[in-house]
Amino acid sequence: METIVSVTGGKIRGVTDRGVSAFLGVPYAAAPVGPARFDLPRPVTEWSGVRDAVTFGPGCLQSRYPAPIEALIGHDPILGDEYLNVNVWTPEPGGSGLPVLVWIHGGAYVRGSNALPIYDGGTFARDGVVTVAVNYRLGLSGFAALPGAPLNRGIHDQIAALRWVQENIAAFGGDPGNVTVFGESAGGMSVVNLIAAPAARGLFRRAIVQSANGSAVAAADDARLVALRLAEKLDIEPTATAFGEVTPERLQAAQDGIALDLMVKPDPARWGATVVAGGLGIMSFFPVIDGDLLTGRPLDLVTSRPDRALPLLIGWNRDEFRFFTFPAGLDAGITDTTLPLMLPRYGLDPKVVDTYAADRPGASAADLFAAVASDLIFRDDATRIADYIAAQDEPTFVYEFAWASEVAALRASHVMEIPFVFDRLDAAHRLTGPTPPQSLADDMHAAWVRFATHGDPGWSRYRATDRNTRIFDAPDAGVVADPRGAELAALRAARRR
């Protein structure tokens, strides 16, 4: 059955199936093509008649994931001009007052889209929550620091999408005063950025941060060094005008080349110290301190300004970094000999591994590296943010996802919680294995629904004095006070600042 709704730009036609109406690929801004690729988002171009919104729209310029990662999560990107679009799922297009979730996808700021099956918001709509999934500018399109172009265009896109939600979500039955923004990985980092950004104030009521940090940001001058190397690779002037004249195919090839160069030789003198440190050798184009949206490191902004505090659900996966090492076979190069040489590159005293090894009898060097890196990159910042928000007496809830995948070596890795949160285990067997526990998906999904609805996911609030943390595992592990607190304390003591 088709359903028609009026939004900014005109009327759209969605499709209703089993009580959920889906509107896919709806533009929230004009197509950023040519030189406009590097402008701030512009108002959506109006259309006449009724526009079909029954298939996914395109995503931003990007290459496919490396083969080991694509084998786990899929993703064959649809590319095109109108990639500033949203998908909306609702149980009641003619209703009112429903809670709203706005999803920001991950992908290291250079990959991803709102079209992945594990991001299907129909499951949330089934349970009474209007859900919006956002596409935004990625890579050089969204974050290259080009002379003559505004910085952090990808964050500006996210803010434009949130404004679209404020203006249009009532047409889908949603309550613009009850919006929760949530995201994972670079999407979770984006949520931290949005909490920190003055321009996003008032656009959402609550936030959920999954597997992210508040430290992935570069100084603008350092980011400009990356843009200069990009221009050299393309043999053009380093200006927005010149980049706007390059074909998408050449832009994509140059973007991939820069990422490889930075990963192979992360020289701070060539790339800028904050690009190397903030990107951790994984990200090449990501947000910068622009003096406007971000006046400092997001972690510092969020943990020093009481006016940034809001109801928060935040957490991490126990074995995050295994996702980046084991599928690609990088674990083979991490040995008892190389591990002490690797940790200083992450700003850590190698002695920190002793605490982790004492808690993990029989763990390999690769196991220990993944455990340390998981806490360093994800858990440390998440706990600092939770400590501060809780101290402002805002409802704060912390979780750890601990279920170990049936896929060899992954355990509770990065990305693993997403199909449980969305209750889309059917779309994730390559990641989870063939028999993931539905009871765990029931628990996590219901907790996210409760938090979006009334701000309480169903377990005790987190405070710095107890650090109550909900452990999502099968069987249910319940709430634990300060899990592996000695490891986190050792990690913080080992950081070389």
What pLDDT does 282 receive?
76
What pLDDT does 278 receive?
86
- Detail the DSSP E strand segments found in 382-497: 396-401, 468-472, 479-481
Instruction: Specify the amino acid at residue 39.
Output: D
Tokens of 402: 């601990």
User: What residues in the chain have per-residue pLDDT under 50?
Assistant: 497
Closest CA to 98 of 172, 162, 5: 172
Q: What are the structural domains of the chain? A: 2-218 (3.40.50.1820), 311-494 (3.40.50.1820)
Closest CA to 374 of 344, 397, 400: 400
Q: What is the pTM assigned to this prediction?
A: 0.98
- β-bridge pairing 20-27 and 85-90: antiparallel
185 is a catalytic site residue: yes
CA angle 372, 376, 378 (to 5 degrees): 115
Instruction: Specify the amino acid at residue 412.
Output: A
Catalytic residue, candidates 185, 215, 284, 405: 185
What pLDDT does 75 receive?
83
What pLDDT does 206 receive?
98
Catalytic residue, candidates 156, 184, 284, 320: 320
User: How far, in Å, CA of 224 to CA of 221, rounded?
Assistant: 5
How many helices (H) does the chain have, and how many strands (E)?
A: 20, 15
What pLDDT does 49 receive?
97
Catalytic residue, candidates 414, 417, 445, 487: 414
Which residue matches tokens 């998908």? Answer: 87
Which residue matches tokens 């634990």? Answer: 480
Closest CA to 141 of 84, 221, 182: 84
User: How far, in Å, CA of 166 to CA of 177, rounded?
Assistant: 8
Q: Which sign, positive or negative, has the C-alpha torsion 439, 441, 442, 448? A: positive
CB-CB contact of 401 with 440 (8 Å): no
21 is a catalytic site residue: no
Looking at residue 37, the DSSP 8-state letter turns out to be G
What pLDDT does 466 receive?
95
pLDDT tens digit string along 133-179? 999 999 999 999 999 899 999 999 999 999 999 999 999 999 999 99
Tokens of 22: 């889906």
